[in-house]
Structure 1
Amino acid sequence: MTCGDLLRQYSLCGDPADTDRWSIAVLHEVGGRGGSRFVHETLAVGDEIRIGLPRNNFDFDPAGRCVFIAGGIGITPLLPMIRAASSRGVEWSLIYGGRTCDSMAFADELSATYGDAVTLVPENECGRIDLDAAVAPVVGASGGDVYCCGPEGLLTAVQERCAGTTARLHIERFTPVEVDTRADSAFEVELAVTGSVHQIPADRSILSVLEADGVNVLYSCTEGTCGTCETGVISGEVEHRDALLTEDERDAGDVMFICVSRARCPRLVLDM
């Protein structure tokens, strides 16, 4: 979504079967970067904004039972998945945590629509989510899928509980992955289409160098969370630092996000 100098990405949270409108839910963050303040304090009915086509960075493709785990506004990308699971007859459950009931968007609607399939965990009343119990249905012999979105602490804890089990974990992050950059070193990037070679210093990203060198690159967040700058990799080993790719996708090494990821070799050849 673009208005003036603001460019932000939001999860679509409406019914996938409703093709007449796109729905988003924006948390009012007074101390944020300005996007949510604009939506809540300035944007009015009838105002025009520019929008791009949706990108599916959080695919729903269950192979069995599904456990949805949401923390706070992380419920938004899970809503269409829950509707899809319900319509397909997939066995599923939702564990949804937040600070208080009043702060948990869509809580009443979810409980009224899906009943016992939904477990609400307001922290001020129930404490934190029992993650061991939450993932228990899909870490046994039958396996299943865990879809999780929320704050980094929740994502990390769910990852730890799913590691080495039969559960297939799918997560979406709203914040960048924290990386130790002290050992970063310089490398080269060759653009296969033009043949140009660009020197990437230890303290700069591929994106920043290419942009400074006059290469037209699409990008948005510069944090490895939105997917706009996804670039094909022809050769070279990538050090992935994004919050988007699965482990299998990282192992494949055929795409990278040049706003944050770097090389583990002297030269990367990119499909640009």
Structure 2
Amino acid sequence: MMALSHCFKKAFLACMSLVTVSTFVSSHATASIRFAINAPGSKPYLYFDDVSQDYRGVVVDFFSFLESESDFAITYLDSNRVRSENFLLQKEADVFLSAIDWLNNPNYFIFSDVLMTHSSYIYSTSAFYGPFVPEDNPNASVCTRYGFIYPVLQEFFYKNNGGLVRVNSNSQVTMAMMLARGRCDYTIMSEQNAQSIMFDESFCDTTFYQSSNSISDVDLVFVIRPELVEFQHSVRAAMARFRKSGALQKSIQTHSGTHKFPKGKC
């Protein structure tokens, strides 16, 4: 009887040991976070690199930094700005990059601290003689990205007479190509977008000019599902270290370059 009791005790302790190990492992399990991309993405934030056949950009660099010091793993989903917001509301994605001003339902989400500022300028193949003023350019065509909202220009796009004509395309690269080919008078994008795109050798025969004034300045943040408070805290802590270490500035320069406008012909 004593032998049987002893065997039972050993078996019980062995089971408890397994439970303890299992609990320890599960508490340290990697949590998968789904990032929704405004496909096909845009430099320097996040874009698909044809050479590596993978996503690159400031966002990827930051999340690699986050993954190295946390239990979160990031996966990337193709989406667009309008769908991304709905994806989070429907719990089909967990996070995406945006300005709060661009959201339809900002009260439904939680946010990271500011990753970087998105300053938008007007670009042309002709020199600017003073700041760009929408009212002074009646019926001018502007190459824009489909689904994007441009708060400062919206009222001029809606005008029936004397406003601006919106010409949509599916990426900033296409916008620059259309501008170079005379399909529109102007285009609008962030300075980092323009630096990474317009100085590419594919535009060797084109001169691009930047307006002296920015059209809008907005802060970009990670928009997060409200249930993911722990992830929000991890992102904020990692972002502070990412910025303080100089890794953020280095990433921005890597993916956008340090070119200055005007961009001349090669």
Q: Does TM, scored on the shorter chain, surpass 0.5?
A: no
Higher relative contact order (CA 8 A, sep 6+): 2
Q: TM-score, normalised by structure 1?
A: 0.25
Q: Which has the greater radius of gyration? A: 2
